[in-house]
Structure 1
Amino acid sequence: MKKNSGIYIGCGVIVLILAVAFLAGYFIGFAPQGKNVAQGSWLVLDLSGQVTDYSILQSSNFLGYNPLSVTDICYRIRKAADDNKIKGILIKPNLLQTNYANLNEIDAALQDFKKSHKPVIAHGEVLAQKDYLLCAMADKIFIDPSASAGIVLEGVASNVLFYKDALKKLGIKMHVMQEGEFKGAAEPYTQNSLSPGTEENLRKVLKSRYELIQQEISKMRSMKIDTVQNIYENRPDLTIDAQEAIKYGLIDEAATWEELQKKYDITDKYQISISDYKSGTEASISSDKIAVVYLSGNITPSINYNNPNVISLNSVDRILDKLADDKTVKAVVLRINSPGGSALESELIYQRIKAFEKPVVVSMGGMAASGGYYISCASDYIIADPQTITGSIGVVMALPEAEELGNKIGIESQTISYGKFAGAGNILEKTDPELLASLKRESASVYAEFKQRVMDSRKIGADKIDLVAEGRVFSASDAKGNGLIDDIGNLQFAITKAADLAKITKYGVESYPKKVTIWDLFRQGNWLQTSSAKAINKESNAIEPIEDYLKKTLQTNQWLYFCPYKLD
């Protein structure tokens, strides 16, 4: 009886959520977009928190729901340049989180805005590094004079956690099959520190990014590069207060928010947040056009083709089918931001892109490494942002063994099987040596396929492939130097290149996947089926918490083209 009650309650909750989602989706889809803009208003770039490359969800004022992506921000900045109601732009960030390639896209949009001869000013209280880089794009920067305000220029870092001893204490042994001396993805499970080669490779990439950031500040603030280096390496305090920032040349003036408002006559009535600014939607384009397809996240199979955090064959296939049938689409730009993922899914996506019969240009975002680089190789031309991290040509598989853990917590496992590899990979039993030997041979084959794809697409000889493979990661400049990419530039540069390959001079630009409402996302996904199953079947496996833990660190039991480094 209790079990039936649980089923009824679970189903009732699902029906309630479904009804709420329907109503919310309906209103979000049809509520008015944005607010009215008063003549003489300032557009405020009050960016904070995580800002992604692209969002498939429509903005709406309903319940204050206005997801902003970098694509949305750049579109609205450029629109504001031609809006006679917009007097200027005020940058006022607060702990902005986005990748450095996205900052470059915003900078390009602001440079276009400045052609309208409207002012761009910035104000901050406490500015982290990315906040400051955004503010440095302005004509003038103001910082609050308070002793608790200032600028924190952190530099760059990458933290790697090592699980070897922790897993040993738990009774979990990790078998790792890895091809690529510098791949590094499995080292946290087998070592307590990075191997010398992996560390050297990672240091080189981080140093390149560090130097690029300094060069950008030097250029935007007209400062000597030695001065910027001195600020990073020799300043006495973590936080640079307003007076010190003025001396260094990092800002122009110290002023409170109220003083800045008075100086520029910016009252609350004449401020419009970038999230509230009426952006409209992309107009239907009947003439020739370039399609920009945003592919972000891990590469993995998914039946939900609108999952914004996953790149799957399902989603790529649907979009390319539509673009292949659209005769007005003359070329495609793939904006890729991915550390990779499933080796098989990467290969299937590679094949799909390769079979596409219109010109394809890849524009790399913050990271297009391992599987992200693999699918890039299917294009006709690869362009990376100056801050892109790419490469990581290698393969890895992690196979956990938790027999000792099972003994510790009182779980015994017995498998009755017929067939040499039947029941192979049972996490609670000792791993069969013949299975490990088989997987090690297979890893060499999967790695060879990756290298062959790169050799064929990039015209790199067999005698040179190992110099750019073995799991090494590269900055954009090094990747261009060794032939892994064709050029360095932003998204607009990639669009222009795509038009050149298509031999067109007049064209529009459309973004994909097309934006949808929350209701569309809910309806098109598989959420209801999976939630119903979980509500009705509450039984769980004793090993599930362990499997969940391993999935969050590195997906196991599958071949991965995956770059593990977090560099942003």
Structure 2
Amino acid sequence: MYRFFRGLFALIGLIVVVVAAGGGYLAYKAWDREEPVSDTIVLNLDLDQDLAEYVPADPLSEALFARTESLRDVVDALDRARMDPRVKGVVARLGGDQIGTGKAQEIRAAVERFRASDRFAFAFSHSFGELGPGDRSYYMASGFERIWLQPVGLVGLTGVSASVPFARGALDELNITPELRHREEYKSFMNTFTEKGFTEPHREMMEALIGDLEGQLVSGIAQGRGMDPAALRQLIDRGPFLDREAVAAKLVDQIGYFDEVRSAALARAGAGAELIDGADYLRSAGRPHVSGPTIAVIYGTGSIQSGKTGVDPLSGGTSMGSEDMVEAFDKAAADPQVRAILFRIDSGGGSAVASETIRRSLVKAREAGKPVIVSMGEAAASGGYWIAMNADRIVAQPGTLTGSIGVVAGKMVTSGLWDRFGIEWGEISKGAHASMWSSLTPYSDTESQRLDAILDDIYGAFVRNVAEARRLPVTSVRDIAKGRVWTGAQAKALGLVDELGDMDTALGFARQAAGLAQDAAVTVEIFPKPDSPFRQVVDLVTGASEARTAAATQAMLARFQPLLRELAPLVRDPAAETLTMPPTGLTR
């Protein structure tokens, strides 16, 4: 009995401490939302980092863990600031190539909207790729009014390239036999395990992707810097550029240090101007789109899986759990205040079953009278396209990786590896196909037939659903499918995507679908809505929530994520992710 009461009082004490800490933090946040002291503001943005697509707003997690800045935070800060008369301009620091093409295009579009509101925008870099590529960061910078480069810095503008791993030689050394099948020849995910180099279809696809993305890079930079595309291509073939060479080539406007850029920006803004970090500004001024009819926004990011959303250590972000996605769509569809749903997708796919579960929840929301507009981010391919295809309208960035309408499945036969180490496995089974998924034996003839039937069925359903959803002939879909990855620009030409643009473009279509003017004021509300701080405390104490553990795990793995992203194709289980985009070496 004593131990019971001791545990009870300890639990009560923990609740009191956590509630007090959370309450104190929320009180601080309320106090901290007072207006900035200055009436003249210059935004300060750090774009020299990888940006998560979206970080859920979680007051308790913010109290216990460091908050990670997201793409949404950067874009919201720029969109809020362009409507704020106190904000006169922005200074952004860029450098490495951590941000992928789709996100770079999203940020650049937000910068262009900001500049169109008669505000200045300065870009600064210590080096656009220090002894490494800097093409995407320079592409973003070319959307700014002026570009500053620190002395001794480089402009690593060298063109677009991609590296794809092939592990067949290593598997042969380990006596591991890949038994993988795909539909169809461009579904090259299995090639990582089965080949020692590019197959002809794989090479054809990659060359087309690189060619289109290089064209987008050149046209964007040429437009931003007022240069002839042909002349720019000649410049790129001479890169990377030393600081003085970059100035002479008109790739950079001025050489200087960040304190000089800051002084120039504050002088441009006027007397009493202050440089304020984007996150601090957003916390003080609030996000845009907080009045008017409600548009629900649902984020679907990461590898698609059945069950709950969790942390994906390979990407550093969250996986997309089908249960949570269904809950989000169901709640948005049932909310009478919601006029339309904006579904933001950043995913290379995953489980076919989970993808179908999410697709069905989108269809049900439309049947309930809620239009659904999809906005594609860095990638919306394979399973990521499966969950998008039934939307009322699909908007993609030109550099979004999408399509990959195909399927892959199979297993690794490891019996040779165990033989090498003298390890014997005893196995007892009853049923002709009881050991079908065992890694100890290859598929029998009848098991191979069943696997082929599964692949044919999933691929057939994928093609038929695309044809029906996109109002295309089945034969046409088969021609453009075959597992092939397309850029957003290519996908639009093929009818897989409706419009090219960013999330703001998609929000405009959501307004139209809701019967509103394209520029009407709307309230953007994230679904599912976050739990109250008290509910979060209860979940934390009772163990009902894994959010804190997930956040800690993500922080611990952050320093290893660049390496893990490169190794991801080699360690994922191909049998568990039948709708997965092949590795392209192009996403971040």
TM-score normalised by the shorter chain: which range applies? Answer: 0.7 to 0.9
* Whole-angstrom CA distance in 1 between matches of 2:27 and 2:94: 30
* Whole-angstrom CA distance in 1 between matches of 2:423 and 2:255: 65
Is contact 1:21–1:519 with CA below 8 Å preserved after alignment? Answer: yes
Match of 1:396, SS? strand
Aligned to 2:298: 293
Aligned to 2:200: 196
Distance 1:459 1:299, change over 3 A: same
Match of 1:446 among 449, 458, 462: 458
Match of 1:129 among 120, 135, 149: 135
Q: Which amino acid aligns with 1:477?
A: A
Q: Which amino acid aligns with 2:139?
A: L
* Whole-angstrom CA distance in 2 between matches of 1:285 and 1:85: 19
Deviation, 1:519, is 6.4
Aligned to 2:342: 333
Matched, 1:364 2:348: no
Match of 1:49, SS? coil
Distance 1:284 1:567, change over 3 A: closer
Distance 1:88 1:287, change over 3 A: closer
Give per-residue Cα distances to partners, 1:527-554, cap 9 Å, x unaligned.
7999xxxxxxxxxxxxxxxxxx998633
Deviation, 1:359, is 0.8
Identity %: 25
Match of 1:231, SS? helix
Distance 1:445 1:498, change over 3 A: same
549-558 or 83-92: bigger deviation: 549-558
Is contact 1:395–1:446 with CA below 8 Å preserved after alignment? Answer: yes
Distance 1:313 1:15, change over 3 A: farther
Matched, 1:155 2:159: yes
* Whole-angstrom CA distance in 2 between matches of 1:166 and 1:268: 62
Query: Over aligned residues, Cα RMSD in angstroms?
Result: 3.3
Aligned to 1:43: 43
* Whole-angstrom CA distance in 1 between matches of 2:538 and 2:38: 33
Matched, 1:437 2:449: yes
Residues 23-172 of structure 1: matches in 2 within 5 Å?
A: 30-32=27-29, 33=32, 36-58=36-58, 65-95=66-96, 97-127=98-128, 128-144=134-150, 146=151, 148-172=152-176
Aligned to 1:564: 582
386-395 or 409-418: bigger deviation: 409-418
Match of 2:476 among 430, 444, 464: 464
* Whole-angstrom CA distance in 2 between matches of 1:162 and 1:17: 51
Match of 1:390, SS? strand
* TM-score when normalising by structure 2: 0.82
Give the paired residue count. 533
Match of 2:332 among 304, 311, 323: 323
Deviation, 1:429, is 3.8
Is contact 2:407–2:458 with CA below 8 Å preserved after alignment? Answer: yes
* Whole-angstrom CA distance in 2 between matches of 1:87 and 1:396: 52
* Whole-angstrom CA distance in 2 between matches of 1:225 and 1:529: 49
Is contact 2:97–2:135 with CA below 8 Å preserved after alignment? Answer: no
Distance 1:524 1:278, change over 3 A: farther
Q: Which amino acid aligns with 2:41?
A: S
Aligned to 1:275: 279
Distance 1:177 1:30, change over 3 A: farther
Match of 1:317, SS? helix
Deviation, 1:196, is 0.5
Distance 1:458 1:305, change over 3 A: same
Give per-residue Cα distances to partners, 1:463-517, cap 9 Å, x unaligned.
3222111111112222122211222222222122122222223451314244578
Deviation, 1:334, is 0.9
Deviation, 1:134, is 2.6
Matched, 1:225 2:225: no
Distance 1:22 1:131, change over 3 A: farther
Aligned to 1:543: none
* Long gaps (5+) in structure 2: 1-10, 129-133, 551-566
* Whole-angstrom CA distance in 1 between matches of 2:578 and 2:212: 26
Match of 1:410, SS? coil
Is contact 1:550–1:556 with CA below 8 Å preserved after alignment? Answer: no
Deviation, 1:26, is 6.1
Deviation, 1:451, is 0.8
Is contact 2:39–2:273 with CA below 8 Å preserved after alignment? Answer: no
Deviation, 1:407, is 1.4
* Whole-angstrom CA distance in 1 between matches of 2:14 and 2:436: 40
Deviation, 1:241, is 2.2
Aligned to 2:554: none
Is contact 1:79–1:279 with CA below 8 Å preserved after alignment? Answer: no
Deviation, 1:76, is 1.3
Q: Which amino acid aligns with 1:50?
A: D
Give per-residue Cα distances to partners, 1:143-167, cap 9 Å, x unaligned.
22x2x31211142222111111211
Deviation, 1:452, is 0.9
Distance 1:61 1:388, change over 3 A: closer
Q: Which amino acid aligns with 1:299?
A: I
Is contact 2:309–2:320 with CA below 8 Å preserved after alignment? Answer: no
* Whole-angstrom CA distance in 1 between matches of 2:378 and 2:54: 13
Matched, 1:257 2:258: yes
Is contact 2:180–2:190 with CA below 8 Å preserved after alignment? Answer: yes
Deviation, 1:123, is 2.0
Match of 2:486, SS? strand
Give per-residue Cα distances to partners, 1:269-312, cap 9 Å, x unaligned.
93222232243555896742222222111111132479852222
Residues 154-553 of structure 1: matches in 2 within 5 Å?
A: 154-233=158-237, 235=238, 237-238=239-240, 240-265=241-266, 270-280=274-284, 281-282=286-287, 287-304=292-309, 309-356=318-365, 357=368, 358-505=370-517, 506-513=520-527, 514=529, 525-526=545-546, 553=571
* Whole-angstrom CA distance in 1 between matches of 2:442 and 2:19: 49
165-174 or 284-293: bigger deviation: 284-293
Is contact 2:91–2:265 with CA below 8 Å preserved after alignment? Answer: no
* Whole-angstrom CA distance in 1 between matches of 2:374 and 2:488: 13
Give per-residue Cα distances to partners, 1:115-144, cap 9 Å, x unaligned.
442322222220222332232222111222
Q: Which amino acid aligns with 2:66?
A: Y
Q: Which amino acid aligns with 1:133?
A: Y
